[in-house]
Structure 1
Amino acid sequence: MGAQPENVIWEPSERWVRGTKGDVTVVDSRRPILVWEPGRPVPLYAFPEQDVRTDLLRKAARPPTGRHAGSTVFYDLEIDGEVTGNAAWSYPGDELAGYISFEWFGRDVLDHWYEEEAEIFVHPRDPHKRVDAIPSSRHVQVEINGTVVADTRAPVLLFETQLPTRYYIPREDIRFGLLTPTGLRTQCPYKGTATEYWSWAGPGDAAANVAWSYPDPLPAVREIKGLIAFYNEAVDIILDGERLERPVSPFSELFS
């Protein structure tokens, strides 16, 4: 592991990583590195220049400032006349000289990313992070505005490093008459695609999209398939008769 100026941390990865846009493979690397920038909770990939279609990159016409640990060299991506501004960048300093990283989280610069033959979403999976879905017999109740919307003794507890425990509840233990579907769809690199979300439909005001489900989760968390979880940050969880404090997490800003 090495250190860059401004506390950038990196380590090599042995995963085969590819990124594509349309029919074009822009990145194809068997020697990527994972980079952690200060203030970012998730890693990014960076790739040796030789593993990137640098012929598709141009010095950015309008490079941003103050992004990606002081990088001053940004690149636009041009494929078949279509230009994606500030799609990639290189880091300052000697240790990461010759590496290029691509925007990913929150921007669809490339259409698909793969580790080996598995497609990955949102951001690279952190090798120092665990996600464990464990069936339990604990008594879990969920209240919204003082009304019980879920009550189960057969939850699956999902433990994810640096995030609150999530309580996934069987559908038969949910009062769906108090919820309304919203059609929101999100992706997670560890759990897959959540294609079902619900908002509160009972008395009083409550935050939108407070509950979700993964109908077809990734194999590592198959125990949560079809179960319903609620944002602890926006509802009240009673665990074995004890009312839990609402946690503060990166998701809290969704409900502020």
Structure 2
Amino acid sequence: MTTFPTERAVRTTPEGLLWEPSARWVRGRRGEVTVVDSRHPVLVWEPGVPVPLYAFPREDVREDLLRPARNPATGTHTGSRVFYDLELDGELVENAAWTFPAADLAGHISFEWVDRVGRGLDHWYEEEEEIFIHPRDPHKRVDAMASSRHVRVEIDGTLVADTVRPVLLFETALPTRFYIPREDVRTELLVPTDHHTGCPYKGTADYWSLRDAAAVPANIVWSYPDPLPAVHPIKDLLCFYNEAADITVDGETLERPVTPFTRGLSAQTPR
């Protein structure tokens, strides 16, 4: 009889790493070459890093493509001292892979993701679906739900959105985001930017700044023109950083949350 765990099967190492086996079939490629192909990957969370990465059994990795790193990127991963360069078709990708010192992860190799740090493997797949930026956390939910709440958004004292038909996006460990139809946004106050970000749960976002508002952080508004199927209701709707806007919901003004995005917004150069 097959049994299933009733609690998170997460282990902790003395180095502070969290890890657990994954049942997903994962492949990582560089260009057209498959460098890792594993049905037994391990998810690893480093201390202070909110998103996971994968580690793979050595037998699932093309170790013939790895070389001892010429300039090891020590200090970039928890306790790691062994780094590898990836040599492929005459190209050398420095510090594309590494091993963790934890005994629990002995015999496993991790890889960088180009979408995340600019080097490593550039295409990743879970089963037959391509994924981006980092592995999806199995303990995280992202739900997009249509609502009839009355949402008003003010930025620097100016009303920029007013709607009773938002889509609320609930994402574990982040504040509720309010996605608003463009018809309910004063889009004449916005100017598009060339900034884009990727999210493994939602897709690729376009951004806007508030026009002629020097005290307001840039890229305060975003939208997903082609979101992933799981959050399709947010398609083409506009969302505002709660961290830098004043949002009122059903007459109650929300406190500005402090999140991993707060520092980046505060550090942006006024326009």
Q: TM-score, normalised by structure 1?
A: 0.96
Figure out how many residues of one structure are paired with residues of the other and give that number. Answer: 255
The CA distance in 2 between the partners of 1:210 and 1:169, in whole Å, is 14
Residue 56 of structure 2 is matched in structure 1 by 47
Contact persistence 2:96–2:119 (CA under 8 A): no
Q: What does residue 253 of structure 2 align with?
A: 243
- Map of 1:3 onto structure 2: 12
Q: Distance in 1 between matches of 2:214 and 2:251?
A: 24
Distance change in 2, residues 1:203/1:89 (3 Å): closer
Matched residue, 2:132: 121
Change (3 A) 1:203 1:22: closer
Listed one character per residue, the Cα deviations across residues 158-177 of structure 1 (whole Å, up to 9, x for unaligned) are 01000111000001001011
Give 1:141 shift: 0.7
| Helix, strand or coil at the partner of 2:43 | strand
- Contact 1:46–1:99 at 8 Å: present in 2 too? yes
Contact 2:135 2:200 in 1 (8 A): yes
Deviation at 1:212, TM superposition (A): 0.7
**Aligned-partner Cα distance in 2 for 1:75–1:145:** 49
User: Which residue of structure 1 lines up, in the alignment, with residue 86 of structure 2?
Assistant: 77
Question: Residue 187 of structure 1: SS of its match in structure 2?
Answer: strand
SS in 1 for 2:195: coil
SS of the residue 1:172 aligns to: helix
Correspondent of 2:168 among 118, 139, 157: 157
In structure 1, what is the equivalent of residue 6 of structure 2?
none
Q: Structure 1: where are the runs of 5+ without partners? A: none
The Cα offsets for residues 18-67 of structure 1, whole Å up to 9 and x where unpaired, read as 11111111111111010111111011100001111111111111112223
- Structure 2 residues without counterparts, runs of 5 or longer: 1-9, 267-271
Q: What residue number does 2:28 align with?
A: 19
TM superposition shift of 1:202: 4.4
CA distance in 1, matches of 2:212, 2:250: 24
* Rounded Cα–Cα distance in structure 1 between residues aligned with 2:102 and 2:47: 15
How far residue 204 of structure 1 moved from its aligned partner, in angstroms, is 4.9
Indicate yes or no: 2:253 matched with 1:224: no
Specify the code of the residue in structure 1 equivalent to 2:133: V
Greater shift in the superposed pair: 61-70 or 36-45: 61-70
Counterpart residue number, 1:181 = 192
TM (norm. structure 2) is 0.91
**1:79-228 paired onto structure 2 within 5 Å:** 79-104=88-113, 105-194=116-205, 196-228=206-238
Letter in 1 for 2:139: H
Matched, 1:63 2:72: yes
Equivalent-residue separation in structure 2 for 1:204 and 1:216 (angstroms): 30
Shift of 1:244: 1.2
Listed one character per residue, the Cα deviations across residues 154-206 of structure 1 (whole Å, up to 9, x for unaligned) are 00010100011100000100101100011222110000111x21000045531
Stretches (4+) displaced over 3 A: none
- Superposition deviation, residue 108 in structure 1: 3.5
Aligned residue for 2:106, secondary structure, equals coil
SS of equivalent residue, structure 1 residue 64: coil
Query: What fraction of aligned residue pairs are identical, expressed as a percent?
Result: 67
Letter paired with 2:232: R
Conserved? CA contact 1:75–1:87, under 8 Å: yes
CA-CA distance at 1:236 after TM superposition: 1.1
